[in-house]
Amino acid sequence: MSEERSTGETLLILLVGAAIGVAAGALIAPHTGRETRRRIRRWLEEAEENLKDEGSELWEKGKEAVKGKVKEAWEGLGR
């Protein structure tokens, strides 16, 4: 049976997978510890930016959806 996932669940799965990949890469990386930490820090900063962008987009979509439902409700009440 197919189960649909919410955007939040999908995003969480993606982040967990990415974190596991970063950790595995750090363990087998051919770079010095300093270089590896720098790369991980840069990756985390990029991930943070992406999450902020996605969060903002989801917030805007949610606001628009709520506005639409409120408008439908008022119209349903004949106002």
Residue 22 forms part of a structural domain: yes
- Average pLDDT value for residue range 42-69: 89
Is 70 among the domain residues? Answer: yes
What is the reported pLDDT for 66?
A: 92
Rounded CA-CA distance 69/26 in Å is 47
18 occurs within a structural domain: yes
Model pLDDT for residues 24-50, shown as the tens digit of each residue: 877 777 878 888 889 889 988 998 888
- When pLDDT is averaged across residues 59-76 and rounded to a whole number, the result is 90
Cα(31)–Cα(1) distance, integer angstroms: 45
Question: Could you tell me if residue 39 is inside a domain?
Answer: yes
Residue 60 structural domain = 8-76
Residue-level pLDDT at 26: 73
Query: Which residues have CB under 8 Å from 39's CB, separation 6+?
Result: 29, 31
Tell whether 1 is covered by a domain: no
Q: What is the pLDDT of residues 6-16, one digit of tens each?
A: 877 888 888 88
When divided into structural domains, the chain yields a total of: 1
